[in-house]
Chain A
């Protein structure tokens, strides 16, 4: 248990943001949050603000983060408690399973935060949650004839080492925490933590919880620098088609279908829900931002000369199909949201010979579009033309 906010920051938050060993101990209670908040001045520590800013600057040059607030402290506590459920010595705690369920509920309530309302807040959430999914863990592993003995994020007990024979090898493994199997509670709480940070979901769409939509990160898609960072983060993935497919697959179900009747309100008589359902923005500009970013991902790969190879085999996943069909919608969308080559061809018209820098690029892009045209079934394009395009191109 953290006795003070500075101790909590020292042992958990600062290592979480800046690297280094972060210690996970007993879960923090809701009451302790109130106690920590009494020392809220500690939240303005320069090193904490500096680390937040540096981590946010991995994405954009001028993050303009708001100062840490009680919501952010709740998030940190929630993240700490999420890690507690993976603690290898959890069975030594004197408690019943119902108590653990209460711990999970309290943690979930800490992680349940309102949607970020500004760009700075979106970034601040991602600073913490993004650091969580990047955490590593140093395991100490001993292979014995009887099997493998693994100390998860700990040193092996001395008595275990004493029993080792000369042929038993001790090795240290550093693994990524997010990719390891988790306790069921941790798995559920991790989804809650990701829901609290829409930007992290956008950047790591393969980890995003079910039901997530990129439209929940509307602030991110209306900021040019942030969209650029998102596109380049996607493009760094080896399996960028799956990443784009995950985003497109999450986007399409969240669009309200005009042919479907409006969703009925909450059934009466069963008591109110704990929180009102999130209302996703369906502003055409936000939609155009998401679609434009996905098209730009194609363009980045064409610039890298990687595209032809990547889309040779088409997946049966509808998200991937929709993602690959998006550039084919450009003739209908480019008047509204622009095109990757917008303006470059006009620049080249005034140049001659080798000064026409963009001519090979334009040729590759057109070849890529032709390749996609041959690859994609017309039905997928027609479906997008009916569902997505009218939401972006709105005729008065």
Chain B
């Protein structure tokens, strides 16, 4: 059995055989640096992506180095080295590294030990001092030690910028179906090929889109491409831009980076501003597999300066209106049979049927009663429920009054607010509802009733509309209460009345023989 190379650190232990170890606030042995070994670069990228989702890569990047190393015993590995914080930060690194096939070690310089496990909650220390050979890095585990020799070094920032974008599925109904999910809800960027720039600008201008843009010179292109910024783009605009060849729609992921729609960067760029140095803007293009570094910060120009006006026609001012000549156009407003059914908003009940209405009232819901008005006429009683009646309740607003419920009389439909015609008829020609009221000369609260197709309409003013419930119910007589006075007055204090004494002799208070008198006077 091999001899263990590491031993667990005890609680409260402060002296270690390995140099560079120290305890944090919880008593865990932490080195100055941590080393994570990954088998392939894919797992390294997965680790960076997972870390950027959870925390900010800017904490790691200043001290991070990436090395491609060869193991002396055979095989390769990718080594990530960075400064170790306290135990909590290293624990997080360990958790993420474990999920991405990485091994976490802590130490300093060229010797690194396994990070703490369940068996050794305070970490490990060397059983005996070990030293690597030459420039190698020695990684010590419980029962083996491995030496890594660096083959190549990578710049983490450059690696992140060169990563290939990954495709993500888009909504089947198009980008406009879920602009928020595509990251385009507030702002969208579009890189337009030089050949179609002017036509795209004209199209956006016609759609009254709020946009700004400027021309950028992309490396390798002969002419400058147009970069557009569209604030709160409409779905129609997004669909047009996404589906047009030559236009790449980009979603901003941070203030200086945008990724093409339909792709995702493996790293969460919003938490890795250190990866994007300088003031340049980065456009990650997935289709062509390139990263465009635009020189300097973007300087967008408002869209109205980008389009050119080519119209030459000037409108002519209209002179005198020829009102008199309109007379041949004027026609009669008449009632004619109609085929389309209408929702009943009123009913004319003959006086003979009023008794039936009286019985039906008990079945009506209170909202329908409250939303109905009644007009007593010679022809009968008109019960109406119109949108023109003060729609205080939901039932009134929906026209669900008594008139729509009562199965009596002749139904009336509403052709304009407050204008009712018999069911099966309509006003011809079909003019605007507001104009109908104007033509009939109705006031704001007036109603016009066409009770019969061949009879002239009648005007009903607001004062003539009686609430149905009030008209139906007879006045209730309340019996007056009689207040009963309490029979007994409250107790009062007595009032002293000194009676006239006159002159009299006070006698009878002599030495009384009563024993009680004597006792009393002795007190």
Contact = CB atoms under 8 A, between A and B. Distances in A.
A16 B494 contact: yes
A21 interface: yes
Given A30-B512, A94-B504, A109-B517, A18 B498 contact: no
Given A26-B504, A109-B517, A15 B499 contact: no
A372 interface: no
Interface in B489-523: 491-512, 514, 516-523
A24 B498 contact: yes
A10 interface: no
B444 to A, nearest CB: 49
Contacts of A390: none
B497 A23 contact: yes
Given A94-B504, A136-B494, A274 B499 contact: no
B505 A177 contact: no
Contacts of A16: 494
A153 B512 CA distance: 32
Given A30-B512, A274-B520, A135 B495 contact: yes
B288 interface: no
A51 B488 CA distance: 11
A19 B491 CA distance: 6
Interface residues of B, number: 32
Given A106-B517, A109-B519, A275-B523, A29 B498 contact: no
Given A94-B506, A106-B509, A273-B522, A30 B517 contact: yes
Interface stretch (A83-91, A141-149, A286-294, A328-336): A83-91
Given A18-B491, A135-B495, A108 B521 contact: yes
A22 interface: yes
Contacts of B521: 102, 105-106, 108-109
B505 A95 contact: yes
A112 interface: yes
A154 B505 CA distance: 22
Interface in A85-119: 87-90, 92-95, 99-100, 102-103, 105-106, 108-112
Which of B488, B506, B509 has the most C-beta atoms of chain A within 10 angstroms of its own C-beta?
A: B509
A24 B497 contact: yes
A106 B506 CA distance: 13
A54 interface: yes
Contacts of A134: 493-494
A341 B495 CA distance: 44
Interface residues of A, number: 55
Contacts of A94: 503-506
A55 to B, nearest CB: 6
B506 to A, nearest CB: 4
A137 B507 CA distance: 28
B491 A55 contact: yes
A102 B495 contact: no
Contacts of A26: 501, 504, 506
A165 B312 CA distance: 113
Nearest to A195: B523
B520 to A, nearest CB: 2
B501 A25 contact: yes
Given A106-B509, A108-B523, A135 B504 contact: no
Contacts of A89: 498, 500-501
A29 B516 CA distance: 13
A105 B498 contact: no
B357 to A, nearest CB: 50
A340 interface: no
Nearest to B489: A19
Nearest to B521: A105
Contacts of B501: 25-26, 87, 89-90, 92-93
Which of A30, A51, A94, A153 has the most C-beta atoms of chain B within 10 angstroms of its own C-beta?
A: A30
A318 to B, nearest CB: 28
B502 A108 contact: no
Contact of A106 (B494, B495, B520): B520
A27 interface: yes
Nearest to B503: A92
Contacts of B496: 21-22, 24, 83, 135-137, 153, 177
Contacts of A111: 520
Interface in A1-27: 15-27
Contact of B497 (A19, A22, A174): A22
A192 B521 CA distance: 12
Contact of A19 (B494, B498, B509): B494
A24 B523 contact: no
Contacts of B518: 109, 274
Nearest to B493: A134
A88 B492 CA distance: 24
Nearest to A107: B520
B500 to A, nearest CB: 7
Interface in A237-288: 273-275
B508 A29 contact: yes
A92 B491 contact: no
Nearest to B510: A102
Contacts of B507: 95
A384 B503 CA distance: 58
Contacts of B505: 93-95
B496 to A, nearest CB: 4
Contact of B494 (A22, A103, A273): A22
Nearest to A192: B523
B493 A131 contact: yes
A157 to B, nearest CB: 10
A361 interface: no
A310 B242 CA distance: 81
A95 B506 CA distance: 6
Contacts of B500: 89, 154
A21 B492 CA distance: 11
A152 interface: yes
Contacts of A275: 519, 523
Contact of A99 (B492, B502, B509, B514): B509
Contact of A22 (B495, B503, B511): B495
A95 B512 CA distance: 17
Contact of B495 (A51, A112, A137, A192): A137
Nearest to A14: B494
A27 B498 CA distance: 12
A138 interface: yes
A58 interface: yes
A31 interface: yes
B512 A106 contact: yes
B175 to A, nearest CB: 50
A261 B300 CA distance: 108
B507 to A, nearest CB: 8
A15 B499 CA distance: 14
B494 A54 contact: no
Interface in A184-205: 192
B498 A153 contact: yes
Contacts of A31: 508, 512
A174 B494 CA distance: 12
B301 to A, nearest CB: 61
B508 A21 contact: no
Closest A-B pairs by Cβ, 5 of them: A109-B520, A105-B521, A19-B492, A274-B522, A95-B506
Given A22-B494, A108-B520, 20 more contacts: A15-B495, A21-B495, A22-B497, A23-B498, A25-B499, A26-B506, A88-B498, A89-B501, A92-B502, A92-B503, A99-B509, A102-B509, A103-B509, A106-B517, A109-B520, A134-B493, A137-B495, A152-B498, A154-B498, A274-B523
5 contacts: A24-B499, A30-B516, A31-B508, A87-B501, A275-B523
Interface of B: 488, 491-512, 514, 516-523
